[in-house]
Structure 1
Amino acid sequence: MGLDFTVVVRNLDYLLWGRLAEGELGGLLLTVIMAVSAGALSLLLGITLAVIAWRYAAIPRKLLFLWAELIRGVPLIFVIFWLYFLVPALFGGGIPNALSVILALAWFSSAAIMHSVLAGLQALPCSQYEAGIASGFTEFQVLRWILLPQALKNLIPSFVGLFASLIKDTSLAFIVNVPELTMVASQVNSRTQLFPTEIFLSIAALYFILCSVLSLIARSISNR
């Protein structure tokens, strides 16, 4: 018996953007928004922490390394649970489920970005920093205009891999009832109970397309 993808076609709007007409964002659109938001936050946090670790090589760097090892040594699903349950317990109010997942993804990924950016900065010749200071630049200006542009350009392939992982890791949001792509696909499968192969093959294709588009964008940025 051949595959029948009509079930995917009939539910395509729900898979792509959920119940958007009813004010409930979901599906592929929510997955993209979550991945982009978490990627931007993790990049900002990771670069900031890398600069701190690069500038202060004693106790601050050791503390940041300890924090990074703690985060990277814990499964991501635990980090999502921590933020989902811990924030209301600490501050007396909840946050939207999707936001808790975005923060968990950003927190989890920022540790890897910190290590990557720090390694990129340390790989640059020390003479560039010294020449910048001798030319009258401040430390911040040397970082902003000389060191970081070179380090970040060299790290683009690493960032692509991290952000591709973020796209796939959004599928863990189902544990806190966020209607991202994998969850809405599971809902469609539960309703039909006849076409799981067709549904999840299509979902896998959508994830593949997302990651491929990300690679093309990164290649374009690198070439420029």
Structure 2
Amino acid sequence: MATLDFSFYTWANISNYLLSGLYFSVALTIAATVGGIALGTIIALMRLSNIKPLEYIATWYVNVFRSVPLVMVILWFFLLVPSGFYDLFPGGSGQKYRAEICALITFVVFEAAFFSEIVRAGIQSLPRGQTNAGQALGMTYAQNMRYIILPQAIRNMLPVFLTQTIVLFQDTSLVYAIGAYDILKGFEIMGNTFGRRIETYLLAAVVYFIISFFLSMLVKKLNQKIRIVR
């Protein structure tokens, strides 16, 4: 039976192999969350607009992306998008960071389908009287959503948003499939360098657990505060 050895796990090696990967994983999570919520809100409003073409497009979008594994979408985008697309980025950065750009675009597009359902459910959870009150004041649909509906709905949706963000952070490990340098890739390189792959994958699991557990505790506390406000 092999003996586990973690002596290679020093701050110098963490700095050399893991920090840049952790930075990318966190940055991808934050950017995909912000972009996914923004795009998801638009899609949710399209589904609630009662304009049939917009409603149909939004429904199709959500159903397609919620029915396909994320790793397949990542691979499709990485393999099918022409390399000329990456030449649009200045200074040759597009080709240099092709995997990272692919990961960001894919995550925003994919997560928007899930965030849109959260937004739609949050809006529909509010009493119909809120919308009627805005209409009685002479507000347009856009004004009603901006000043009355969305501020209340977003407060109710925050815990669910953060829960989805935790799932998103865990899913960032899938960019490993296209060679992006995330934290899992950093662990793999460190394991190959020191010949300790078992130890590095165990450590990777611990890191993902600690971060996800910490964030889940924040969600729990936030949910308790929102209940008190209600």
The SS at the match of 2:81 is helix
In 2: Cα distance, 1:3 partner to 1:64 partner: 51
Counting only pairs closer than 5 Å after superposition, residues 41-190 of structure 1 correspond to structure 2 as: 41-88=35-82, 91=85, 93=87, 95=94, 96=97, 97-190=99-192
Change in Cα spacing, 1:5 to 1:78, as seen in structure 2 (3 Å) is: same
Tell me the alpha carbon deviations over residues 180-222 of structure 1, each in whole angstroms, 9 at most, x when there is no partner: 11111111111222x3343222222221232234335545665
The SS at the match of 1:8 is coil
Kindly provide the amino acid, as one letter, of the partner of residue 150 in structure 1. Q
Change in Cα spacing, 1:209 to 1:92, as seen in structure 2 (3 Å) is: closer
Kindly provide the amino acid, as one letter, of the partner of residue 139 in structure 1. Y
Percent identity over the alignment?
A: 28
The SS at the match of 2:180 is coil
The alpha carbon displacement at 1:98 in A equals 0.5
Contact 1:133 1:142 in 2 (8 A): yes
Worse overlay, 163-172 or 55-64: 55-64
The answer on 1:201 being equivalent to 2:202 is: yes
Contact 1:16 1:27 in 2 (8 A): yes
Moved over 6 A (4+): none
The answer on 1:192 being equivalent to 2:228 is: no
In 1: Cα distance, 2:128 partner to 2:193 partner: 61
Contact 1:49 1:114 in 2 (8 A): yes
The SS at the match of 1:155 is helix
The alpha carbon displacement at 1:57 in A equals 4.8
Contact 1:8 1:198 in 2 (8 A): no
In 2: Cα distance, 1:218 partner to 1:161 partner: 7
C-alpha root-mean-square deviation of aligned residues, in Å?
A: 2.3
In 1: Cα distance, 2:135 partner to 2:164 partner: 33
The SS at the match of 2:28 is helix
Worse overlay, 56-65 or 37-46: 56-65
Contact 2:17 2:189 in 1 (8 A): no
Q: Structure 2: which 5+ residue stretches go unaligned? A: 89-93
Q: Aligned pair count?
A: 215
Report the TM-score when normalising by structure 2: 0.83
Kindly provide the amino acid, as one letter, of the partner of residue 118 in structure 1. R
Worse overlay, 201-210 or 35-44: 201-210
Tell me the alpha carbon deviations over residues 71-114 of structure 1, each in whole angstroms, 9 at most, x when there is no partner: 12112112112222333267474743111101111111110111
Change in Cα spacing, 1:219 to 1:136, as seen in structure 2 (3 Å) is: farther
Report the TM-score when normalising by structure 1: 0.85
Contact 2:191 2:198 in 1 (8 A): no
In 1: Cα distance, 2:45 partner to 2:137 partner: 21
Kindly provide the amino acid, as one letter, of the partner of residue 203 in structure 1. A
Change in Cα spacing, 1:157 to 1:48, as seen in structure 2 (3 Å) is: same
Kindly provide the amino acid, as one letter, of the partner of residue 119 in structure 1. A
Kindly provide the amino acid, as one letter, of the partner of residue 126 in structure 1. R
